[in-house]
Amino acid sequence: MAAEIDRDKVRESFHRQATDYDRHAVVQGRVVEKLLGLLQGEGVSPAHLLDVGAGTGRLLARLTDLYPDMDAVGADLAPGMCQAATANLAGRRVRVVNADAESLPFEAESFDVVVSTSTYQWLATLDQAFSEAHRVLKPGGVFCFALFGERTLFELRESYRAVLGGGTDRTHSFFAAEAVSAALGRAGFGVQRVSSELEVELHPDVPELLRSLKRIGAGSTAPASGKGLSERRVMLEMMASYRKQFGSEAGVPATYEVVYGVARKEQLSDSDQSD
């Protein structure tokens, strides 16, 4: 069994780390650039765009450079991220709102394009969030997103299991690409493409990896470190296992599987429009 997601903890964690996020979120920065390429490949010219989980506004800054005439909205669960995005996007045609991906405060068919990066993996299920993206899209609109998939931080999970036993997992679990595709279908997206890529970061050692996760607000991906002697022993054994299994002279790797999705909301047929 994997650890359950504490949404309040996720909100508070990203709220606290908003000012340091961009400095340490290296893989997330690469994901932004890849997503921009996917979106441009769709040939869109959005008039109204929504970024779900906008964070510090990194993706929106790039999008407003590409599409300067559009009106954009950034939504994020963490108040600190909203404050950072508002400051970073000052002077651009962007409105930032504090909102939940599973309950977007917008009318149906409000946007031509909905985007999201490095956000949906923090949800217990994808169905409600994907249904919300479908609801707020106009017919023919594009949903373009990236989230971290099931191979993400597998080194950390395997090292932890080696200490606690194969049936125990107190780290965060991530969605498989097949689950992402199935959730898109259930949400009503008929046309979709889902793919995945691996990104690897190298860290000097395991403690530095764990500190890095906390600096980007992703501390809940790592096992909780209690103050008791038994918990400290488990952590030390986990780190030793990590180094032995995966370490090298270059450091310790941290793998991220990035699942990319592009989907379109189907156009209304002539008969539907006449109704």
Paired sense of beta strands 111-117 and 94-98, if any: unpaired
Q: Tell me the average pLDDT of the chain.
A: 85
CA atoms 56, 60, 61, 62: torsion sign: positive
204 burial via Cβ count (<10 Å: 0-12, 13-18, 19+): exposed
Which tokens sit at 155? 């080194």
pLDDT by residue for the chain (275 residues), tens only, comes to: 344 445 555 545 444 444 444 444 567 778 999 999 999 999 999 999 999 999 989 999 999 999 999 999 999 999 988 999 999 999 999 999 999 999 999 999 999 999 999 899 989 899 999 999 999 999 999 999 999 999 999 999 899 888 887 655 556 679 999 999 999 999 999 889 999 999 998 999 999 888 888 765 555 444 444 445 677 888 899 999 999 999 999 999 999 999 999 999 998 765 454 44
pLDDT tens readout for residues 28-78: 778 999 999 999 999 999 999 999 999 989 999 999 999 999 999 999 999
Select from 69, 65, 124 the least CA-distant residue to 100: 124
- Please give the pLDDT value at position 246: 97
CA dist., res. 79 & res. 212, Å (int): 21
- Please give the pLDDT value at position 231: 79
How many CB atoms sit inside 10 A of residue 211's CB? 14
Q: What is the CATH number of domain 7-151+173-200+256-274?
A: 3.40.50.150
Strand segments (E) across 4-129 = 48-52, 71-76, 94-98, 111-117
Paired sense of beta strands 71-76 and 48-52, if any: parallel
DSSP, res 253: E
Above pLDDT 70, what percent of the chain?
Answer: 80
Domain boundaries, the chain: 7-151+173-200+256-274
CA dist., res. 175 & res. 25, Å (int): 20
- Please give the pLDDT value at position 164: 85
- Please give the pLDDT value at position 247: 96
CA atoms 81, 21, 63, 144: torsion sign: negative
- Please give the pLDDT value at position 190: 83
